[in-house]
Each structure stands twice: as structure tokens, then as C-alpha cells.
Structure 1
């Protein structure tokens, strides 16, 4: 049997017990999944953290103040900073975020500000990564690895494409990242195709809302 971490993204607390019962080994909390996910309420974080701690399941939270693009102004960055502090105070294991410039490159100043707030938490750079031009993604991997980010959540291409069509680029990213930072494939991964994707890419973690089946 293939052994790898299965991260399930969930919109609210009510799905968590069933997801864990069906084999989820990490939970990512994100409201409004239809728009790529935004930050859940403090109450959801609180109850989810208590339950996941009881089950020894790591818990991550999306830090995103709104849907739309990933270009944030100073006020939005302050909101994100406060949400990071709440996540840490409530006992979450990590956060999921991403900031870009108008040129669709990593907003290094914004990321450094938020990473300082996130000290002691795991950090995943989310699918904002897929908006970065392919030829610039390798530099982005370098920067994120150098700044202590643990993993990059990526579909390997446009989310409208089935993940089977982005596997070649995902493999390039996995091979380039090597042991410096984890590439976390996501978007269109289900309980039906997860094993084959893991075997093809050789990754240790996969992400999806249906990776442990329907909830």
C-alpha cells in the first residue's frame, strides 16, 4: 500500500470528523472553496483545532481576506497578520497563503511581513503559485525555500485543465525542489486517482477536497 499524507481542504467544522474517519491525515480549513478559499471564522478555527488535536491530526488554515486576485494592499496585509496571530493562539499547526505583485511574481515584501508573523507555524504557499509564469516558477521555488516556507500547493497549470494534463510540469517542479521544499499537488485529485498521481510524481503529500472520497 502506498503511504503518503492526504490533506483534505474543508469549508467548515462539520466535515472534519468524517474526513478523518475516512483517512485524512491533515486538514486545511478554507471557507468559500468555490472561489479558491478564504479565511474561516475564529470559531471554526477554535473547534477544529480542539478536535484535530484530540485526534493528533495537523490543522492548517487558509489566510486570505477575500476572493479574487492575490495582490493585497496594506490594510489587507494587516488583516492577514491578525488572522495569522489568531491561528497561532488557537493552536493551529500552520497557515496557507500567497501574495503576488502586479507582474504575477511573488510579492517579497508582503511575504516577508507575513512570514515574520507566522514564526513557529508551518507555511504553505498556495495556488497563487500557478499564476506565476512557468519560466519564473523555479526562481519562486528558490525564494520560498530560502525563506523557510515548508511547501507549495500547486496544480501545475491552469485549474481548468485536468491534473493528468499538468503532471509533466508538476514533475519538473518536484524534481527541481528536491529536498529543499515540498511540492504539494492539488486540484482535481480524488480517492480514485490519488495513488496513480503519487506514484507518478514520487511526492509524499497530496491535497484535495475529495482525496478521501465524498464527505
Structure 2
């Protein structure tokens, strides 16, 4: 079996260092992972551009759904420019219509604005529901490199049947990258059922602020986590052994 690539999502300079030290093959660079990831700051992008492995930046202007207004799209275009100026390898995009289907028009405009940057379609795909094959076709037609998906479930290990169907719909035309809820403890059944070329994980542990008053004053989100290099290393070892 070919090597399985491990992408790790991070939202800080410390997380970036931990993921690379742990053996990640690619980084998804974000801010605010506790709400699913937002566009990272220009400063973090510039730092990440010095990494020894490819870095893709999340392009998501706000928390919530992926039904974007004209103003949202204007912000995203500016963020795409910032990614190009920083010198990162690619971007992570997604957009839906109100019915959950992919907004191909918005994604086409954003893809054009991304220019030569690599492109991953993020878990906006998971809102497509029973229309996953149509969503795969949209991603292929727009030239995305890969689709990050949990199979429509909160965690990928809960949706192995759906993921298998998505792999079948892709038929080798695009990489399907399972993600969400994957860890050294949960990856086994997925590897036994599917034949992924890439997987995505946060490899995080609970964040403990240096000053507990930060949490008491509301500066720390209850779901905040930090990248753990030992978890990255353990998951990568399992992928190498698969």
C-alpha cells in the first residue's frame, strides 16, 4: 500500500511546530479550531510559509454555516490574496446553498481568485446529505484536489458506510480525505474498511491556559484544544504501518 498522508489542522504557532515535529505531512492552518476553523492571521500565514511541509490555509470569514453573502465573499477574496502573498501552498474552501448543496457558482469564483494555489474542499461537503455523488461531481468539475469529509456524521468513524459510498462516487477522480474524530484510538476500523490516500486529524488535547483567570474571564473557549506532538507521532506511526 502507498504511504498514507497525514494532514493536521492547527491554529497557533505552537501547534504548527508540534504537528511538524510529530511527523505531519501537510498542515491545514486555521484560527479558532474550537468553532471548526477560521481564516488564520497574516502573521501566522507568514510564519507557516517557512515550514518544511506544505501548508493550506482555511478560508472561512466567520463562524456558522457556509452560506456566504456578497460581503463574506469579498472578505474571502481578500484572504485569498493574503495567502498568495504569504507564499503558502494552498487553501481550504467550501460554500453551500441554503438547501445544503454545494454553491458551485461561489466556489467557481473563489477558485478563480485562488489562481495557482492548491485547493481542498472542506466539510461544507458534509451538508450535501444524500446528494454526495452530485457534490463529488461539482468538486471534480471545479478542479479541487481533494474533499475533506466525515461522511456527514460528527465523526468519520461513525459514517464508514457513507464514506465508502463517497469513495466509490469519486472513483479515483479526486482524493477523498476522511477527517473529524480520527485519533490513534479510532483510526483502526476506518483503515480496515477504506483505502485512504490521505487522512485529516487535529491530534489535540485540552488546552490549559497559563493563567486560570483567562478562563474565568471568558477568554478561553470551553472546547479549546492544543496540538499534541505525541498524538501526531502515534497516529503517523499507525498510518505508516497500515
Aligned residue for 2:120? 124
Within-5 A mapping of 1:85-104: 85-104=81-100
What TM-score do you get using the length of structure 1 for normalisation?
Answer: 0.91
- Distance in 1 of aligned mates of 2:185 and 2:99: 37
8 A contact 1:198–1:206 mirrored in 2? no
How far apart, in 2, do the equivalents of 1:132 and 1:213 lie? 35
Partner SS state of residue 108, structure 2: helix
Could you report, residue by residue, the CA deviation over 1:111-146 in whole angstroms, capped at 9, with x for unpaired residues?
Answer: 111000112111111111111122x11011011101
Query: Which has the greater radius of gyration?
Result: 2
Which structure 2 residue ranges, 5 or more long, are not aligned?
Answer: 205-228, 233-242
Name the residue aligned to 2:134: 139
- Alignment partner, residue 197 of structure 2: 204
Q: After TM superposition, give the deviation of residue 16 of structure 1 in Å.
A: 1.5
Which ranges of structure 1 fall in alignment gaps of 5 or more residues? none
Q: Does the 8 Å CA contact 2:66/2:94 hold for their aligned counterparts?
A: yes
2: CA distance, partners of 1:163 / 1:74: 32
Residue 9 (structure 1) shift: 0.3
Task: Tell me the residue number matched to 2:146.
Answer: 151
Alpha-carbon offset, residue 66 of structure 1: 0.2
With over 3 angstroms needed to count, the CA separation of the structure-2 counterparts of 1:119 and 1:188, relative to structure 1, is same
Q: What does residue 27 of structure 2 align with?
A: 27
Equivalenced residue count is 208
What do the CA deviations read for 1:156-200 (whole angstroms, capped 9, x no partner)? 1221xx432201110110121022111110000113333542342
SS at match of 2:119: strand
Contact between 1:184 and 1:205, CA under 8 Å: does it hold in 2? yes
Secondary structure of the structure 2 residue equivalent to 1:21: helix
User: Shift of the alpha carbon at 1:214?
Assistant: 3.8
Structure 1 residues 162-173: aligned runs within 5 Å:
162-173=155-166
What secondary structure sits across from 2:49 in the alignment?
Answer: helix
Q: How does 1:42-121 map onto structure 2 within 5 Å?
A: 42-50=42-50, 52=51, 55=52, 57-121=53-117
| TM-score normalised by structure 2 residue count | 0.81
Task: Report the equivalent of 1:38.
Answer: 38
Alpha-carbon distance change, 164 to 104 in structure 1, aligned in 2, over 3 angstroms? same
> Take 1:23 and 1:123, find their aligned partners in 2: how far apart are those partners?
22
Q: Secondary structure at the match of 1:28?
A: strand
